[in-house]
Every structure is written in C-alpha cells, then in structure tokens.
Amino acid sequence: MPESLYTINVKLNNKNCLVVGAGNVSERKIKGLLESKANVTVVSPEFTEGILSLKGHPKLSLVAREFQENDLENMFLVISATNNKNLNSRIASLCNSKNILINVVDDPENSSFFVPSVVRRGDLSIAVSTGGKSPALASKISRELLSQFDEKYGKYLDILGEIRNWAKIEIKDPLKRKEMLTKLLEIDIHELIKLHEDGLIKERIYKCISL
C-alpha cells in the first residue's frame, strides 16, 4: 500500500536549515532554501565553485569540515546529500530521533519529506512530486507545465488577489462573493488582464454579480 503523504507549503523565513554535503545537487537545494529566506548552514569538507560563489550571502554559513552530531542543534530542517550512504543513514536516524525534518537525496526510505519540482509564476506555485520515486519524471512534468502556464499567470494571480480583497469589503454576502469570484475565472486570462489595464474590471465584476 502506498505511503500517505500530506502536502504542504512551509514558511522557512529565518528558520535554521542544514545541508550536509556540497556537490551539484546540494547547490540546487541551497539556492532553493535561500530563495525561501531560510538561514542555511552547509557542512562539507569541500564545496563546488557554485556554492563558493554564494559565500558572503547574509543567510549562508559554510562550514568546511566533516558532519558532527551537534550540527543538528536548533535545526528545523535538514537535507543530507553526501555520497556516503552510511553517513546519510546516520544523519537520518539522528534527525528522526530529534524530530527534525530530514530529506536524504535519492533515498526515500530515509526521508521524512520530499522536495517537489516547482513551477513558479509570481505567487503561483505548482508543485510536482513523485514521492521520491522519480525526480526525473517530476522535472519532465514541470517543464511541460512551464509552457502551459506562462509569465502572464503571475500578473493574472495578482489581479485576482486585488479583486478578492476588494470583494471582501464591497460584497457582504459570502455566497454572492464566492459566486462572483468563480464566474470571474471563466473570463479568459488575456481578457481579464486587458480589462484590468483599461480600468474596466469593476464594470465586469458588477456584471458578474448581476447575472
């Protein structure tokens, strides 16, 4: 029976995160954590040029040595990406005993969470996960989604957010508000953006309400 996973988006702003290992895979993980405003510590005897180029980032600390158990102190989340399977397993065991979220790269059995492949368009995030079984398939699907959801979707979502905030104030009836917001989604994305740019969006909203 497949393992049940609970999908969430986690706020990592100012959370302490540890990455053990500093190869190409770690480099991608580090950049993703920094984009999420996490405090990132990387422990490894050596670092890739790409990771070294990040040196000086205010939220990044590079520690040039082997992993030690006390590296886990005060950590919210850990990613283990070394080429030493025994070390990865040890780190996973320690994290589980300390109730720290752990992802061991390419080892679903030793991971308590998986990092999905994510398509971002402004505040729109579409995550694709295979539960660690096939990251390559997740990446393939993400590339397909990139062409389906172009850059306009970031602006589209911003407009929908503006309308929702306006509707909370102007439309007191929650059922009417929900109905209007649902009808608004029937408008073509390009048309909605044009209406917003031309200042005609409220006229269309009132039309939706009156239908």
Predicted confidence (pLDDT) per residue in 187-209, tens digit:
889 888 888 888 888 888 777 77
Both 99 and 79 in a single domain? yes
Contacts of range 6-14, beta carbons closer than 8 Å, 24 or more positions apart: 7/127, 7/129, 9/125, 9/127, 10/77, 11/36, 12/36, 12/37, 12/38, 12/76, 12/77, 13/37, 13/38, 14/38, 14/39
Both 52 and 41 in a single domain? yes
Both 124 and 188 in a single domain? no
Both 188 and 98 in a single domain? no
Q: How far apart, in whole angstroms, are the C-alpha atoms of residue 78 and residue 69?
A: 12
Q: Extract the residue ranges of the chain whose pLDDT is less than 50.
A: 1
* β partners of residue 39: 16
CATH code of the domain in which 107 resides: 3.40.50.720
For residue 6, tell me if it sits in a domain.
no
Please tell me the predicted confidence (pLDDT) of residue 45.
96
Q: Residues 35-72, buried b or exposed e (16+ Cβ, 10 A)? A: ebebbbbbbbeebbeebeebeeeebbebbeeebeeebb
Domain that holds residue 121: 116-149
Both 79 and 130 in a single domain? no
* β partners of residue 79: 19, 103
Residue 175 token pair: 């059922």
Q: What is the pTM of this model?
A: 0.74
Domains held by the chain: number: 3
Residue 178 token pair: 């929900």
Please tell me the predicted confidence (pLDDT) of residue 140.
92
Both 140 and 166 in a single domain? no
Please tell me the predicted confidence (pLDDT) of residue 1.
37
Please identify which residue in the block is written with the tokens 């503006």. 162
- Over its C-alpha atoms, the chain yields an Rg (Å, rounded) of 22
Please tell me the predicted confidence (pLDDT) of residue 21.
96
Please identify which residue in the block is written with the tokens 């990771």. 51
H or E, element range at 77: strand 77-80
Please tell me the predicted confidence (pLDDT) of residue 2.
52
- Residue of 162, 150, 135 lying closest to 190 (CA atoms): 150
- Residue of 76, 32, 30 lying closest to 55 (CA atoms): 30
Q: Are 64 and 45 in contact (CB under 8 A)?
A: yes
